[in-house]
Chains A and B, each alone.
Chain A
Amino acid sequence: MEVKEKIKKTIQKHTENGHSVNGSTVINKRIPVLKTYKLYINGQFPRTESGRYYKLTNRDGKVVANICRGSRKDFRDAVVAARKAQEGWQKKSAFNKSQILYRIAETLETRKAQFAETLMLQGYEHQAAEQEVYASIDMLVYYAGWCDKYQQVFSSVNPVESSYFNFSFPEPMGVVAAIANQQSGLLSLITTIAPAIAGGNSIIVLAAEKYPLTAIDFAEVLNASDVPGGVVNILTGYSKELHTHFSSHMDVNAMMYCGNNADELKTIQTNAALNVKRVIAVKDIKEESPYRIMGLQEVKTTWHPVGI
């Protein structure tokens, strides 16, 4: 009896939107397709090689998705991809880089509803979610505009005493590793990615543990915006596990840390000394400034003789 009752209820539930034909029930409620969230490395979406995952739950405690718990090996793979992609990205014209950053903003704008919804699914309030998406798009536009201007603002022709044409201009440091702020689902990614790639660097970012969905969704935006594979790589996983690997890698030139954990920052700064990595502790993820770009640049000075 009880079992029969249960079956009846189940049928009822599934036929709420259905209808009855000749006494038999047609079930036509659509079953949504769930998305598998993976990492973004070298322009592709691989699962973590470690096979590990963590559960992302919503406010009601319901599991929303299984998230890749990225490993040291995933990070190392991402660095290889980033290193390989960096030179080609640097070589693209400043105008071209600018257009690609602007393109990311355009693509994100068309998906703003989706991003706001996904932020809410991860715990954002409606208004905060919308604001975060708008701020992210605007920040991309801001840095898109800097791509072909910061060099002019921060370069110099130096009036040396001897007979040389001497000039200094900024060049990208190379490969940047970044850890997002744990309280931000999208803006914290943009605040690391945009100034890094506007300046011709490639980057590997670790998304906030609580907000992996928007991070991987954003990877799709990048993938659809002519950003060459490997220029931006996004990992999901635990900051407390990965920050030591990020900071001790010998082929990473600079490290951005947006977190609030003083111990993690100290470890990063300590490990950075292994290869004199530059460490930038980002305190305000909303800050927009060309100095964010310059923090990831080296100034090169060239002496060229005048006369024959």
Chain B
Amino acid sequence: MENSLLHNPKKYFDTINPAKETRIASVAEAGQADVDAAVSAARQAYNKVWSKMPARERGKYIYRIARLMQERARELAIIESMDGGKPIRESRDIDVPLAAAHFFYYAGWADKLDYALPGMKAEPMGVAGQIIPWNFPLLMAAWKIAPALACGNTVVLKPAETTPLTALKLAEIIRDADLPPGVVNIVTGAGATGAAIVNHAGIDKIAFTGSTDVGKIIQKALAGTSKKFTLELGGKAANIIFEDAAIDQAVEGIVNGIFFNQGHVCCAGSRLFVQESIANTLLRKLKDRMETLIVGDPLDKNTDIGAINSRDQLNKIKSLVKIGINEGGECYQSSCSLPSKGFWFRPTIFTNVAQSSKIVQEEIFGPVLAIQTFRTVEEAIEKANNTPYGLSGGVWTDKGSKVFKVTSKIKAGVLWANTFNKFDPTSPFGGYKESGSGREGGMHGLSAYLK
């Protein structure tokens, strides 16, 4: 806390390595008093320093954070993979560089905000309370902190209880970057700590990334208050493969869409729609490809799929897969071997499922894909939109006009054509419908932190 690492908490909780089921560290559990202290530090820093500072200087601090992250990239990647279970190849090549790039991108916005919202005087909101999930711990911290700071806000951020370590490392980096005390405050803890942030009267804005269920609770809790909020919630993305798609490339895209980060991705392509004429071929190729996926030690560079983030999540995935089988779905899993200790789940696909199947409707947040077929473009669009979610979607075809026909009709915030799960600091991200409200990333991500 308070840029940071000063605290004398009464309680601690353990964070474990999900690949080994061993304790990595004990982390402070912030109570109401700690959240109060963090909010008051953030308020003071906002009033006295951060909102008063010339925007260009603010930007320079944020650039410093980006640079220090790049310097300590290896350390951050290893901690991320140990604490969260994701393959080192992903934390090294995606999470950490993207997180640093986010700070770098938004740093440059700090003194250019008047160009972001035409006709409006850009003004910060004040103190932002931010709650992030366990699937991309450092990257989500960057998505939250970087635009907030660039817009002149101060923050109180809570990482998820199963993955607090990289956020605390980031706090160390922010301290080393000499940011004024109180500008960034990290409080660790579980749901109760999050609730203390959401309900805190000293906070002006809540930014939350997590499940739709919790997002709804937060939205409800904020009713009748003057707090602004942005929510980035769950998804059940359709990945649509047309018969004219480059099929091998599409198989890679399907694998990346659902098995990237063990499927712990809110925008994962968890519903696959394949045009009937190529369904058999594609399914065979997909199964062959799944056999080559290596599930195991997250710190091994050859690993494709790491450990499931926690025992709770593993149980949730198992129970949904069981429901899928009970509902008549045909389940296929790769035959890979799994380590004896740790939380693991084989890459899994379901065929013979209906639109009404639970595994087609509900977010599983694991390496489990539900496959359906379609005949016409219209049918694919209708099926894709038949969900309360609307975060992302994918289209695979060789025909440009078909790409735009489909992407323009799918009600979702991010559409990938002939690719999936691509991210960039300049590219806005966020959902329609029950997948949340507001955007993060790009120019559009600034309005979440400006009045």
B338 contacts partner chain A, Cβ-Cβ < 8 Å: no
Give how many B residues have a beta carbon under 8 Å from the other chain's beta carbons.
46
Query: What residue of chain B has the Cβ atom nearest to residue A165's Cβ?
Result: B417
Supply 13 A–B pairs (Cβ within 8 Å), ascending by A. A156-B442, A158-B424, A160-B424, A161-B101, A162-B424, A168-B428, A273-B220, A298-B432, A299-B430, A300-B413, A301-B428, A301-B429, A302-B407
Q: Which residues of A contact B444 (CB under 8 A)?
A: 156, 168, 299
Contact size class for A? 35 or more
Nearest CB of chain A from residue B113's CB, rounded to whole Å: 15
Q: Which residues of B contact A266 (CB under 8 A)?
A: 223-224
With A300-B415, A303-B415, A304-B417: A270-B223 Cβ-Cβ less than 8 Å: yes
Number of A-B contacts (CB under 8 A): 111
Query: Are A275 and B434 neighbours in the complex by a CB distance under 8 Å?
Result: yes
A168-196 with Cβ < 8 A to chain B: 168, 173-174
Query: What residue of chain A has the Cβ atom nearest to residue B416's Cβ?
Result: A303
Query: Are A153 and B419 neighbours in the complex by a CB distance under 8 Å?
Result: no
B324 contacts partner chain A, Cβ-Cβ < 8 Å: no
Q: Which of B119, B403, B418, B433 contacts A290 (CB 8 A)?
A: B119
A269 contacts partner chain B, Cβ-Cβ < 8 Å: yes
Question: Considering the chains assembled together, what is the distance between the CA atoms of A149 and B444 in angstroms?
Answer: 17
A235 contacts partner chain B, Cβ-Cβ < 8 Å: no
Question: Considering the chains assembled together, what is the distance between the CA atoms of A166 and B416 in angstroms?
Answer: 9
B352-394 with Cβ < 8 A to chain A: 388
Query: What residue of chain A has the Cβ atom nearest to residue B415's Cβ?
Result: A302
A54 contacts partner chain B, Cβ-Cβ < 8 Å: no
Please give me the 8 A-B residue pairs with the lowest Cβ-Cβ distance, nearest first.
A266-B224, A269-B223, A273-B219, A160-B424, A273-B220, A270-B223, A158-B426, A273-B216
Q: Which of B404, B414, B433, B435 contacts A301 (CB 8 A)?
A: B414
Query: Are A303 and B212 neighbours in the complex by a CB distance under 8 Å?
Result: no
B403-451 with Cβ < 8 A to chain A: 403-404, 407, 411-419, 422, 424, 426-430, 432-437, 439, 442-444
B59 contacts partner chain A, Cβ-Cβ < 8 Å: no
Query: A266, A275, A298 — which one has the most chain B CB atoms within 10 A of its CB?
Result: A298
A278 contacts partner chain B, Cβ-Cβ < 8 Å: yes
A305 contacts partner chain B, Cβ-Cβ < 8 Å: yes
Q: Which of A156, A159, A302 contacts B417 (CB 8 A)?
A: A302
B residues contacting A by CB (< 8 A) are: 101, 118-120, 212, 215-217, 219-220, 222-224, 231, 233, 388, 400, 403-404, 407, 411-419, 422, 424, 426-430, 432-437, 439, 442-444
Question: Considering the chains assembled together, what is the distance between the CA atoms of A289 and B118 in angstroms?
Answer: 11
Query: A253, A289, A303 — which one has the most chain B CB atoms within 10 A of its CB?
Result: A303
Nearest CB of chain B from residue A3's CB, rounded to whole Å: 64
A272 contacts partner chain B, Cβ-Cβ < 8 Å: yes
A291 contacts partner chain B, Cβ-Cβ < 8 Å: yes
Query: Are B413 and A161 neighbours in the complex by a CB distance under 8 Å?
Result: no
Query: Are B222 and A303 neighbours in the complex by a CB distance under 8 Å?
Result: no
Nearest CB of chain B from residue A199's CB, rounded to whole Å: 14
A274 contacts partner chain B, Cβ-Cβ < 8 Å: yes
Question: Considering the chains assembled together, what is the distance between the CA atoms of A156 and B447 in angstroms?
Answer: 14
Question: Considering the chains assembled together, what is the distance between the CA atoms of A291 and B411 in angstroms?
Answer: 21
With A156-B442, A158-B426: A276-B433 Cβ-Cβ less than 8 Å: yes
Q: Which residues of A contact B434 (CB under 8 A)?
A: 275-276
Query: A159, A162, A274, A301 — which one has the most chain B CB atoms within 10 A of its CB?
Result: A301
Nearest CB of chain B from residue A125's CB, rounded to whole Å: 34
Question: Considering the chains assembled together, what is the distance between the CA atoms of A253 and B385 in angstroms?
Answer: 14
Query: B118, B224, B400 — which one has the most chain A CB atoms within 10 A of its CB?
Result: B224
Nearest CB of chain A from residue B358's CB, rounded to whole Å: 19
